[in-house]
Structure 1
Amino acid sequence: MKFVVSSALLSSHLQTISRVISSKPTLPILDCFLLELKDNKLTITAADNEVRMETFVEVAENEGEGSLAINAKNLLDPLRELPDQPLTFEINDDNLEVYIYYHNGKYNFIGMKGEEYPQPKELNDTALTLTFDSQILLSGINRTVFATADDELRPVMNGIYFDINTDNLTFVASDGHKLVKVTSSDVKSPERASFILPKKPANLLRNVLPREDGEVQVTFDENHAVIKLTEYNMVCRFVEGRYPNYNSVIPTDNPNKVTLDRLNFLNAVKRVSVFSNPSSNLVKMQLSEDKIVITAQDIDYLTAAEETIVCHYAGNAMN
């Protein structure tokens, strides 16, 4: 088996999917990338027990086809130090020895049989498919993943809840202290469904979705999802369990509502919080009809800050 590929292109794709690989894999082969060559397309896969991610790279001067597992460190680390140039891969199908030739050198090592790499489970016949703009998925993840928990006793809180209705998709996350709910009416479904996406695949998608321009296809059953993008595919296992009724904790008749410029508010809080107590990071807000006064202080070091931003506030004055 032989092929030629750009070192920069290969390195970029490898670095993206390398985040899947666990620092303590349960199987030695899961410390490897799976390379599968067919025609002029190289499919590269990384996996752990929960997530499987594959990407596709165009190659040239390819001879033969087949699969091979290569230690991730052996393949990726040298590429990080190489300037962009063509790489020639030559694989001996008999002893699995890999030679990689570049402009002024080469390196070689032994691979593992591609057939030994774990394969994903097939989705069952009840699987549902949704196709929608990839930026909707990116926006939903970006706005919710920060609110997910790290709670071993309540694993359902450790992911993003996808609440799918016939006329919208709602992303929900909560750690018990804060709750985020984001709804998109641009996603339609033939039937009602839901699942909990773990934090790890959510962050992996968050990394690749900014490069995508087009639609994402999400096919899922009760336990798994297959997420297809232009250059990447992902298979992931859901968090098992029933997500709490999030609507029950959202007040429906709260009279206190504030409208303000998000960026101005965010920057003001960042500036003022510099002067807060490092152990608590507490920032005080005083709300009135047309302004918010943001203050912080650190009594130990005699530092303090105060900033006022305009807003529209409907409700009783409060601190």
Structure 2
Amino acid sequence: MILHIEKEELIFGINTVQRAMAVKSTLPVLEGIYICADAKGLQLICTDLSLGIQTFLACDIEEEGKVVLPGRLFAEIVRKLPDGDVDITIDDNLNVTIQCMGSRTKMKGLDPETFPDLAEVSDASSFTIAQPVLKDMIRQTIFAVATDETRPILTGALLEIQQNNLTMVALDGYRLALRKEALSAPSEEKQIVIPGKSLSEIGKLLDDDGDDVHIMSQDTHVMVEIKNTRVIARLLDGEFIKYRQIMPTDHHTRVQVAARDLFDSIDRASLMAREGKNNLVRFQISENKLILTSNSEMGDVYEEIPIAMEGQDLEIAFNARYFTDVLKIMDDETINLDFTTNISPCVVNPVEGDKFSYLVLPVRIY
């Protein structure tokens, strides 16, 4: 194999696929980057068997071939090369020469035939969505994916297509995050659960103003096509929690509040709450004002926020981090907080529409 490629193009490709490269695997080939130059162009692939990323790069191919190179070492070598075109040559014994300007490095490659094939995913069940929309949906739900492996299905996020709406749901037992978007074209009704790690890596590859993303799924895998890059992720087995059954259908108290003001007040109150045992912040709702308090052996904090209030007065408490996790990803300036009792979840909704819903469980006040 002989090829010539711009350094920045090669670095872009390496940075893209490395997100799926295995770390400390029992199979050394999974810690490598698969490189193939053929009639399709130059492709780089990494996989840890649950997530695979393949990208195609523009280059001048003089002679076709393929090899697997030790991923971290190859990446560091390329990043430290002088600026300019990179020449990569591989002989029949998998000896690799990487040359750029006056710099030349030789290394030994691995047998490409031992590299696992990526799963094939048909487009029988597929839909298209704008990159910035999908990126926002991931950003505004991924924080609620469970990290505890006790219930493996909750370590992923549900992607549900129903009545031309795409809904993404994540929950970890303390909070629930739901984001909804309308699809531009009808699509088959479907439910899949994507591992949180894979979804997070997909989100990092998305642009704020990029082309549309094509998403295809089948029983075991999902494939996301982003320009010249394909991400293939193994889906989680099992049935996701029937989230609609835990969404409150009514409320006894509704508070309309500026999201930023609420975030700043909880953030300040949490400085003292963290010094305590449970990071607890109390909400006291009455007379169109929301009073937040926290205390510990070190002292106490009092915050007062003006609100528009409907319904009954209420005193309730929350873990400060669970509430700020919701508020920090908010784009809306004003939000509604719906309460039923002081032991029922608070539901955070938009003032208009149903684009999102967040549930935060309270902490019992003794």
Q: TM-score, normalised by structure 1?
A: 0.91
Q: Could you say which residue in structure 1 is the equivalent of 2:72?
A: 73
Q: Could you say which residue in structure 1 is the equivalent of 2:89?
A: 90
Amino acid at match of 1:56: F
1:263-302 to 2 correspondences below 5 Å:
263-278=260-275, 279-299=277-297, 301-302=298-299
1:1-319 to 2 correspondences below 5 Å:
1-39=1-39, 41-60=41-60, 62-92=61-91, 94-123=92-121, 127-186=124-183, 188-210=185-207, 213-278=210-275, 279-299=277-297, 301-302=298-299, 304-319=300-315
Distance 1:263 1:2, change over 3 A: farther
CA distance in 1, matches of 2:306, 2:213: 40
Amino acid at match of 1:68: V
Alpha-carbon offset, residue 185 of structure 1:
1.7
CA contact (8 A) 1:160 1:198 kept: yes
Q: Which runs of 5+ in 2 are unaligned?
A: 316-366
- Residues 68-87 of structure 1, C-alpha deviations (whole Å, 9 max, x = no match): 11110221122333453322
Comparing 112-121 with 175-184, which one deviates more in the overlay? 112-121
Distance 1:119 1:296, change over 3 A: same
Comparing 208-217 with 142-151, which one deviates more in the overlay? 208-217
Equivalent position SS for 2:20: coil
- Residues 117-162 of structure 1, C-alpha deviations (whole Å, 9 max, x = no match): 111233368x301112122221111111111112333211110001
Alpha-carbon offset, residue 198 of structure 1:
0.4
CA contact (8 A) 2:131 2:208 kept: no
CA contact (8 A) 2:142 2:196 kept: yes
CA distance in 2, matches of 1:175, 1:14: 33
CA distance in 2, matches of 1:158, 1:275: 31
CA contact (8 A) 1:169 1:188 kept: no
CA contact (8 A) 2:135 2:208 kept: no
Equivalent position SS for 1:260: strand
CA contact (8 A) 1:46 1:54 kept: yes
Distance 1:192 1:27, change over 3 A: same
CA contact (8 A) 1:38 1:66 kept: yes
Amino acid at match of 1:85: G
Alpha-carbon offset, residue 24 of structure 1:
2.7
Q: TM-score, normalised by structure 2?
A: 0.80
Amino acid at match of 1:286: Q
CA contact (8 A) 2:21 2:30 kept: yes
CA contact (8 A) 2:87 2:98 kept: yes
CA contact (8 A) 2:159 2:168 kept: yes
CA distance in 2, matches of 1:243, 1:76: 38
CA distance in 1, matches of 2:78, 2:96: 15
Alpha-carbon offset, residue 192 of structure 1:
1.4
CA distance in 1, matches of 2:114, 2:296: 59
Distance 1:31 1:297, change over 3 A: same
**Equivalent pairs: percent with the same residue?**
25
CA contact (8 A) 1:168 1:187 kept: no
- Residues 27-51 of structure 1, C-alpha deviations (whole Å, 9 max, x = no match): 2211110111135832111101211
Distance 1:309 1:105, change over 3 A: same
Equivalent position SS for 2:93: coil
